[in-house]
């Protein structure tokens, strides 16, 4: 089992630190966030230590998404809604709190006061340049 010394999610995966577990299998844990953006927010973390999606094995990432697909309907139902945001921070510019791969199920309600995903825009011709730059990097 891959572990990182001092990682809070590794400690939770090893049951050395308490967490409100709502689902568990041999590869992942789903726990209540202790700092929820909205009540019922779930953190799905892999039991092995990977920093983020950049270094996670593909089969583990696929499994994590399959677990989210399985549990998210129950999470939102329990919270009295039918909507959620799925989020994952990848890389230091995201200002992630824990560098151990995890995703968030954030329940949303029609009357909540969370901000809408902010809209940006491109200058004239900028989107074509950025598209080409990304395609060359793939």
For residue 63, give the 3-state DSSP assignment.
helix
**Structure tokens given for 113:** 């006061």
Q: How far is the CB of 17 from Zn ion (least distance, A)?
A: 11
Q: Looking at 47, 100, 102, 104, which residue binds Zn ion (CB under 5 A)?
A: 100
Q: How far is the CB of 113 from Zn ion (least distance, A)?
A: 33
- Burial label for 44, CB within 10 Å (0-12, 13-18, 19+), is buried
Query: Could you write out the DSSP letters of every residue in 98-135?
Result: --S-EEEEEEE-TT--PPPPPP--PPTTHHHHHHHHHH
**Structure tokens given for 126:** 């900028």
Q: Which of 104, 119, 93 is nearest to 38 (CA)?
A: 104
Q: Which stretch binds Zn ion (CB under 5 A): 2-10, 26-34, 69-77, 80-88?
A: 2-10
Residue 47, interface with Zn ion (CB under 5 A)?
Answer: no
Residue 50, interface with Zn ion (CB under 5 A)?
Answer: no
Q: How far is the CB of 7 from Zn ion (least distance, A)?
A: 3
Nearer to Zn ion, 50 or 84 (CB): 50
Choice among 49, 63, 100, 102 that is catalytic:
102
Residue 99, interface with Zn ion (CB under 5 A)?
Answer: no
Active site residues: 102
Residues that bind Zn ion (CB under 5 A): 4, 7, 9-10, 49, 100
């Amino acid at each position: 089992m891959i572990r990182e010394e001092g990682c809070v999610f590794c400690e939770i995966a090893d049951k050395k630190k308490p967490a409100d577990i709502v689902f568990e299998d041999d590869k992942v844990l789903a726990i209540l966030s202790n700092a929820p953006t909205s009540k019922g927010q779930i953190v799905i973390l892999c039991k092995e230590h990977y920093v983020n999606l950049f270094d996670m094995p593909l089969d583990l990432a696929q499994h994590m998404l399959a677990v989210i697909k399985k549990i998210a309907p129950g999470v939102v139902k329990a919270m009295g809604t039918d909507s959620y945001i799925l989020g994952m921070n990848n890389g230091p510019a995201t200002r992630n709190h824990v560098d151990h791969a995890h995703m968030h199920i954030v329940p949303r309600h029609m009357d909540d006061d969370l901000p809408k995903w902010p809209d940006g825009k491109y200058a004239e011709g900028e989107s074509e340049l950025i598209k080409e730059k990304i395609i060359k990097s793939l």
